[in-house]
Amino acid sequence: MSAASTAEHATGEQKGSPEFHVAHHFDRADTQFDAAKMGIWLFLVTEILFFGGLFCALFIYRGWYFDSFVEAHHHLDKKMGALNTLFLITSSLTMALAVRASQQAKKDQTVRLLAVTFLLAGAFLVVKYFEYSHKIHDGLLPGKFFTASGFTTEFASVFFAIYFVMTGIHGLHVVIGMGLILWIMLRAMKNEFSGRYYAPVEGVGLYWHLVDLIWIYLFPLLYLVG
């Protein structure tokens, strides 16, 4: 809930009964900030559980088809994966700096840092695009689409099912994240944030760190360990 929207909420109430002198449903701005922050953290918990199911599937199938997983993971491009890891870690840094800048009401700096974060996220997706097209070209695909030849083990297709679902859903989170970064960037341009009000930047920042963190687990587990 942004301050602007809660203000709307309050006027909505006052329209009905102007005698009431209630600003909004929070007594103090602090409470509002605390509530927003707690809400974001709880949302991140649900994200972890969401990906938790996929990590669970990864570990189970890796245990079952260990040889297939080792063989299949050599077909992932470690260099591209490492490059993407670098992009995301750097973007987490610029995001954290952007939160700091918005707290200090440094509008231009906030916007610049958010723009860099946005571009790094875009770069991640470009690399991902090349990786995916390569996999599709080679027929390294999930389930019944798996057409690659020359494998000595039977269930490489399960590895690629896990790979595509996990990186695909993660990629979707990156796309959503880019939308959110754009949103707070536009609001920062309108000079809406200050030391008193920066909850949206903080919230998007927390979300973005989680997206980064999930990749930091995906990269070694899929690309390096197999």
Partner 1 sequence: MSRAITADEVPVAPGGKNYLNAEKGIWSWLTTIDHKRIGLMYLGSTGTAFLIAGCFALLLRIELLNPKQDIMTAPQYNQAFTLHGAMMVFLFIIPGIPGGLFNFILPIMIGAKDVAFPKLNLLSLYLYWIGALFTASSLVSTGLDTGWTFYVPYSANVSQTAVIQVTFGAFILGFSSILTGLNFMVTIHKLRAPGVTWYRLPLVLWAAYATSIVQILATPVLAITLLLLILERAFGIGIFDPKLGGDPVLYQHFFWFYSHPAVYIMILPGMGIISELIAVHSHRRIFGYKAIAFSSVAIALVGFLVWGHHMFTSGQSELASTVFSFITFFVAIPSGVKVFNWTSTMWKGSIAWNSPMLYAMSFLFLFTIGGLTGLPLAMIGLDLHLHDTYFVVAHFHYVMMGGAVIAFIGGLHHWWPKMTGKMYDDTKGKIACGLIFVGFNMTFFTQFFLGSRGMPRRYYTYLDQFQPLHAFSTYGSWVLGAGLFFVLYTFLESLWKGEKAPRNPWGGRSLEWMTPSPPPTENFHRTPTVTHGPYDFPSTVDK
* Residues found near partner 1 in the complex (CB under 8 A): 1, 5, 9, 12-13, 15-17, 19-20, 22, 24-27, 31, 34-35, 38-39, 42-43, 45-47, 49-54, 56-57, 60-61, 64-65, 142-145, 154-155, 157-158, 161-162, 164-165, 169
Q: Which residue number, 143 or 189, has a Cβ lying nearer to partner 1?
A: 143
CA 17 to chain centre: 42
| Closer of 37 and 107 to partner 1 (Cβ) | 37
Q: Where are the beta strands (DSSP E) in the chain?
A: none
CB of 6 to partner 1, least distance (A): 8
The distance of closest approach from Cβ of residue 48 to partner 1 in the complex, given in angstroms and rounded to an integer, is 8
Distance between alpha carbon 8 and the CA centroid of its chain, in Å?
Answer: 29
- In the complex, what is the shortest distance from the CB of residue 12 to partner 1, in angstroms, rounded to a whole number? 7
Note whether 144 and 125 are within 8 A (CB): no
* Beta carbon nearer to partner 1, 48 or 224: 48
DSSP per residue, 127-147 = HHHHHHHHHHHHT--SGGG--
- Compute the C-alpha angle 183/187/190, nearest 5°: 150
Q: Is 214 helix (H, G, I), strand (E, B) or coil?
A: helix
Shortest reach from residue 223's CB to partner 1, in Å: 20
Q: How far is the CB of 76 from partner 1 (least distance, A)?
A: 17
| Whole-number CA gyration radius for the chain | 22
Please identify, using beta-carbon distances, which residue of 59 and 130 lies nearer to partner 1. Answer: 59
In the complex, minimum distance from the CB of residue 140 to partner 1, in angstroms, rounded to a whole number: 13
Nearer to partner 1, 44 or 93 (CB): 44
Residue 206 and residue 41 in contact, taking contact as beta carbons nearer than 8 Å:
yes
Nearer to partner 1, 24 or 128 (CB): 24
Residues 6+ apart with CB under 8 A from 213: none
